[in-house]
Amino acid sequence: MKRKVLVILSNRLNRLQKARFIELDCDEEGNILKETPLRSQPRKPLYHEVWENDDGKTDFTSCHSFKRKYRHALEKPRGPGSKP
């Protein structure tokens, strides 16, 4: 099963800097299969997980730590009886 993960790269020290959004396709073990930069913030909640790095990095490969955002507005709502 493939999972879609949204990664948000923002800057907590300079809120005027625009956030970057990256969509990742991952397998069950967490290996990244495909990385796609998005032009703007997605509008529909279609991601299994949402992660954020707020250190002001502009590139996904230069980031070392991410925080998972539980119940984010862009995270897919879980239905009853679904697996974690």
6 band by pLDDT with thresholds 50, 70 and 90:
very high
Identify the pLDDT of residue 73.
93
- Over the stretch 11-51, which tens digit does the pLDDT of each residue have? 988 889 899 999 999 999 989 999 999 999 999 999 999 99
Identify the pLDDT of residue 70.
92
Confidence check: pLDDT of 83 > 70: no
Tell me the percentage of the chain whose pLDDT exceeds 90: 62
- Reference 48, options 20, 21, 68; nearest CA is 68
CA distance 65 to 44: 26
Alpha-carbon torsion, ordered 78, 81, 83, 84, to 10 deg = 50
- Reference 10, options 47, 49, 50; nearest CA is 50
CA distance 68 to 65: 10
Domain ranges of the chain: 3-68
- Over the stretch 50-64, which tens digit does the pLDDT of each residue have? 999 988 888 888 888
